[in-house]
Chains A and B, each alone.
Chain A
Amino acid sequence: MIDIDGITKRYGKATVVDRVNLQIPRGGVVSLIGANGAGKSTLLSMVGRLLEPCDGRITVDGHDVQATPGPELARRLSVLRQENHLPVRLAVGELVAFGRFPHSGGRLSTRDHDHIDRAIAHLDLGPMAHRRLDQLSGGQRQRAFIAMVLAQDTDYVLLDEPLNTLDMRHAAQTMDTIRRMADDLDKTVVVVLHDVNVAAHHSDRIVAMKHGRVVADGSPSEVVDRDVLRHVFDLDVPVSHTDAGPVAMHFGRACTSGDAPLASRTGEFR
């Protein structure tokens, strides 16, 4: 279980994450949604110990993420940031192999190679394993990084907007991969998503944030609701119920009319 206890992050006077308490038990896909600047990515980065919280404590299966030795935590928890530009040039296969570093310390065993090959196959990267990352498209690169995280073989996987640079097909494939990571490989995936409908369709639980706080938390059908969404995004979004579950109609005129106070939305960026 990931246990987030009273986590706060401030930059100067701006509080980006404000005393968040959240428990994420093992298993399933949990989506974090919210407007820009709501604190989703910051929270995720603190769980992945890429950022240090100003206050509070995060544990993963009882291990404090700040205090646990790096390699030990890296065998339980992997994290992938939104922008992954590498300062060095390397091939897809090489990158994926680095996912085994926490386990191997740099010397790959047969078992490590199995994991690498499986991850490459899982993300359909076989044909381009030899290609250099800087020669790939944004979507391919993103998949290579996900493959690295997969090779890392951790119980918990944190992904920050993995669909950001992907076209529709690759976005669907990636969400499918995420789903299978949870279903077939028994991993717990926490993912920051922009699109409420994608979140609704692929996750078991949705946590919505606003102004650095958790403002809604529940199943997709609970969160994708006109009143809840209005509260989260300050935007009136009709929800239509289809066979595939609830769909937020955040396009068309309904969004900009009514009581969607633009002023309060821009206020969030301060």
Chain B
Amino acid sequence: MITVARPAPQGADRRYLAIGALVLLGAAAVSLFVGVSGISPADLLAGDAQKRAVLLESRIPRLAAIVLAGSAMGVAGLIMQGLTQNRFVAPSTAGTIESATFGVLVATLWFGSGSVFAKMTLAVLFALVGTAIFLALVERLRFSDIIVVPLVGIMFGAVVGAATMFFAFRADLLQTLSAWTTADFSGTLRGRYELLWLVGGLTVLAYRYADRFTVAGMGRDHAVNLGVDHRRTVTLGLALVAAVSAVVVVVVGAIPFLGLVAPNITTLLVGDNMRRVLPVTALSGALFLLVCDILSRTIRYPFEVPVGTVVGVLGGAVFVFLIFRSRFGAAAA
């Protein structure tokens, strides 16, 4: 079974953490110096003011946004997988992202496109309600297959997405809608991404509660036995996930698959103990998104492809591979 926890190889988490951090640093360096206006470390040393401005106004904020969003979405996926005991559940396969997008649309319809606070509040609220509905649906599937659960989530997301489309179409907001549904960092500048520090904080909070999520994921009975308030822990996890997804949707747009790919790869390497996996997942999420972003900037240089598109292709491929590994790999052996 896929739900059975894998034991962690001793010290694997630290090793991968170290390796990951090194690779991330390398990628970050590359990221800082890739772009339309060519900047090299030499320029900076020479004290080129204009290039320094580009670095400070655009490149560094962009890097920060990617690292924050990537790690947070990875961790959000990890929490959902832990709580549902299902490796294929993530904000993008549970209707969370679609619900958040719906919330952003409603906020735009009611309060105009300028109100970031309204957008965020409604996005979080909708994400919360949407994910709760998903969990309620899944509850009715208790004894069912591990793969039916994400399917229900994807379909629920499609229904919410259709409703969003419906209203967006009527209000002539389809163009705007596509900006929310495809993540894009090309507009990330200083002063326009800082909300993401909020998800950074949420990620740290998640680490504090990691053990409880692990216990809650074992099921109500185990949780009660170990003295963990199951309901409260699940609600907390849900709130974290909803908030993270909503903020990311508002600031950069929906990032597909990230919440699936990062935790799955990580648990494959490090095992299932949430406290150990969580930091590595944050790292791998950031790394995956950063690599996709570098690709999105170079693949059609000097134009940029939205990072959401690149993630959609790469993440989709990895996800299909994961399903294969878990389901058909065993059958073929």
Contact = CB atoms under 8 A, between A and B. Distances in A.
User: Touch between A and B in complex, CB under 8 Å?
Assistant: yes
Interface of A: 11-12
B45 interface: no
Contacts of B332: 11-12
B333 interface: yes
A127 to B, nearest CB: 33
B328 to A, nearest CB: 13
A11 B330 CA distance: 11
Contacts, number: 4
Contacts of A11: 332-333
B331 to A, nearest CB: 9
4 contacts: A11-B332, A11-B333, A12-B332, A12-B333
Contacts of B333: 11-12
A71 B333 CA distance: 32
Interface of B: 332-333
A47 to B, nearest CB: 23
A105 B126 CA distance: 57
A170 to B, nearest CB: 28
Nearest to B333: A12
B41 to A, nearest CB: 52
A19 to B, nearest CB: 22
Nearest to A14: B333
A270 to B, nearest CB: 11
B333 to A, nearest CB: 5
A12 to B, nearest CB: 5
A11 B333 CA distance: 6
A11 B332 CA distance: 7
A12 B332 CA distance: 7
A138 to B, nearest CB: 19
Contacts of A12: 332-333
B92 to A, nearest CB: 30
B145 to A, nearest CB: 15
Nearest to B331: A11
Nearest to B332: A12
A240 B69 CA distance: 74
A13 to B, nearest CB: 9
A258 B332 CA distance: 38
Nearest to A11: B333
B329 to A, nearest CB: 11
A11 B328 CA distance: 13
B213 to A, nearest CB: 36
A12 B333 CA distance: 6
A37 to B, nearest CB: 14
A44 B285 CA distance: 50
Nearest to A12: B333
What are the 4 tightest A-B residue pairs by CB atom distance, in nearest-first order?
A12-B333, A12-B332, A11-B333, A11-B332
A91 B329 CA distance: 37
B131 to A, nearest CB: 33
B330 to A, nearest CB: 11
A244 to B, nearest CB: 43
A80 B332 CA distance: 24
A269 to B, nearest CB: 13
B234 to A, nearest CB: 35
B210 to A, nearest CB: 37
A123 B332 CA distance: 38
B139 to A, nearest CB: 26
A54 to B, nearest CB: 14
A11 B331 CA distance: 9
B160 to A, nearest CB: 31
B202 to A, nearest CB: 45
